[in-house]
Amino acid sequence: MNSIFILLNIVIMLILIGLLFYMQKKHVSFSKRVFTGLGLGILLGAFLQVAYKPDSVIVSTTTDWFNIIGRGYVSLLMMIVIPLIMVSIIQSIINLEKSSDLGKMSAWIIGILVATAMLAAVVGIGAASIFNLDASQIEAGQMENDRGLDLEERLGEVQDLTIPQQILSFIPSNPFLDMTGARATSTIAVVIFSIIVGIAVLGVRRKQPEQAKIFTDFMNAIYAIVMRIVTLILRLTPFGILGLMANTVASTNVAGILELGKFVGASYVALLAMFIIHLILVGLFGLSPITFLRKVLPVLGFAFTSRSSAGTIPLNIQAQKNSLGVDQGIANMSASFGATIGQNGCAGIYPAMLAVMIAPSQGIDPLSPGFIVQLILIIGIASFGIAGVGGGATFAALIVLSSMNLPVALAGLLISVEPLIDMGRTALNVNGSMLAGTLTSRIMKKLNIETYNNPEAIERETNL
C-alpha cells in the first residue's frame, strides 16, 4: 500500500515539474518561475505533512526521490563553483585597468562583510533581549542532550586552532587538492591561488606580451564556456527550488517549532531587521533599495531553500553582474569571500543570540556594557576566522561561546529548529555578500547604474 502512495506523490511532483516547464516554454520571467516553484514546493510539502506523518516511511521514501531534483540541482551548482571561481577571478584580474584596484577591491569587500557581521551581532543581542530569551527555560530531551555532547566534542577541534593558524589554513599548499573541495578553507584557497595566477599574468604581460596574450585568449575562451554551463544549470533553478522546498516542509518538525516558537520568532525578527539595515545601507549609497530587493529575491529564494551559501555562488555572481550591474571582478570576489567570511546570519546574529540566552545561566548580565562590547569584538574576529574551521553557524557558535567562557552544550537545545532557522540565516549570508559586492562596486565607481536600474537586465542578458 505504501508504494502506491509513494508513486502518487512522485506523479504529483512530475505534474508540477511539467507546469514549470510549460511556463518556461511560454517565456514566463525567470523570477516568476522561481517563486512559482517555491510556492508549489510549500504546498506539496504541506500536503505530505498533512496526509502522512513527517517521520513515516512514505515521507522518507518520497523525499528521497524528490532529492534527485532538489539535492541533484545543488550538486550541479557545487560542481561548477570551483571552475567558476577560478576562471572568473583570473579573467577579471588580467582585464584590470590598474593592478592596484585588486587590493582596494578585496579590502572593501572584506571590510563590509566583517563590519555588517558585527552590526548583525548588535541586532542579535537586541532581539534576544527584547524577547527575553533564556536557555534555562528550554527543556532538554535525549536528542538535545546528545547534540550538546556532540558540540562539546567538536569544541576541541575549534580550540586547537588559533586565529593565526586559521589564517594560515587559507594559504593553498596544494591547489589541486583544494579544487576538489577537500578542506573547509578550499574556497578561499582557490580564490587566493587564482589571484596569484592573475597577478603572474600581469607580470608576464609587461615582459612577454605575446605569451600573456595567448594565455588571456585561452582564459577568455574557457570563461565563455564556463559561463554557458552556469546558464544551463541556472535554468533548472525553479525545478530545484520546488524539490528542495517540498522536502523541507514535508520533513519539518512542527512540534519542535511550536515548543521553541519564541526563539524561532526572535531569530526571524532579527534576520528581518538586518535585511532592512542592508536595504538602508543601499539607500545611503544613492541606490534604490526596492530595485536591489527585487533583483536579489530569486537568489535569496534559492539560498533559503538550499541552506548552502557555497552552492549559491554561481547564481550570486550571475545576479550581481547581470542584474545589479556590479563589476565582474568584484562580483566574483564578494560571492566567493561572502560564502565563508563575515556571514551576517551564521557568524553574526546566531552566536550573539546564543550568548545572550546562555549568559544568565552562568550568573552573567548579558546587557552589561563589558559583555556586549566583548561579544561584538569576538564575533567580528570569528566572522573572519570561521572559514578556518568550516561548519558554518555551529562552528561560529563554538568559537564565540568558548571565547566568552560560556558552556557550548546548551546550544544543543535548539537542534529541532536548526533547519528552519538556518534557512533564514543562509539567505541573510548571501544577501550580505551581494550587498558587499554592490557597495564596493559603487565606492570604486564601477557600478553600471543603467543595468542596476533596468528591471529586465537579468532576463535579457542571461536568457534564463
Q: What is the CATH number of the domain that holds 187?
A: 1.10.3860.10
**389 falls in which pLDDT band (50, 70, 90)?**
very low
Give me the mean pLDDT over the 218-223 stretch: 89
* Of the candidate ranges 138-147, 312-321, 440-449, the one whose mean pLDDT is the lowest: 138-147
* Residue 457 in grid coordinates: 537586465
pTM over 0.85: no
Distance CA(234)–CA(429), nearest Å, equals 20
* Residue 425 in grid coordinates: 540565516
Domain hosting 200: range is 2-462
Span 327-356, pLDDT tens digits: 988 998 899 888 878 899 988 999 999 899
> Which amino acid, one-letter code, is at 246?
A
* Residue 187 in grid coordinates: 574556497
Distance CA(423)–CA(314), nearest Å, equals 18
266 CB contacts (<8 Å, ≥6 apart)? 127, 128, 130, 131, 133, 353
Which one has a higher pLDDT value, 317 or 185?
A: 317
Counted domains in the chain? 1
Distance CA(367)–CA(125), nearest Å, equals 8
Q: Where do the H-state alpha helices sit in 160-208?
A: 163-168, 175-178, 186-207
**319 falls in which pLDDT band (50, 70, 90)?**
very high
Neighbours of 12 (CB within 10 A): 17
Span 48-102, pLDDT tens digits: 988 887 778 898 899 999 999 998 998 898 888 888 888 888 888 887 766 677 8
Q: What is the pLDDT of residue 273?
A: 97
Percent of residues, the chain, with pLDDT higher than 90: 39
pLDDT at 388 over 50: no
Is the C-alpha dihedral spanning 223, 225, 231, 233 positive or negative? negative
Which one has a higher pLDDT value, 110 or 158?
A: 110
Q: Where do the H-state alpha helices sit in 160-288?
A: 163-168, 175-178, 186-207, 209-234, 237-250, 254-259, 261-284
> Distances in Å between the alpha carbon of 218 and those of 44, 87, 96, 197?
46, 10, 17, 14
Helix, strand, coil percentages for the chain (3-state, nearest 5): 80, 0, 20
Q: What is the pLDDT of residue 406?
A: 84
Q: What is the pLDDT of residue 170?
A: 77
Percent of residues, the chain, with pLDDT higher than 70: 86
Burial class, 70, CB count within 10 angstroms (exposed 0-12 / middle 13-18 / buried 19+): buried
* Residue 92 in grid coordinates: 577579471
Distance CA(253)–CA(460), nearest Å, equals 41
Which one has a higher pLDDT value, 242 or 386?
A: 242
* Residue 274 in grid coordinates: 538586518
Nearest Cα neighbor of 329 from 223, 256, 418, 235 is 223
Q: What is the pLDDT of residue 279?
A: 97
261 CB contacts (<8 Å, ≥6 apart)? none
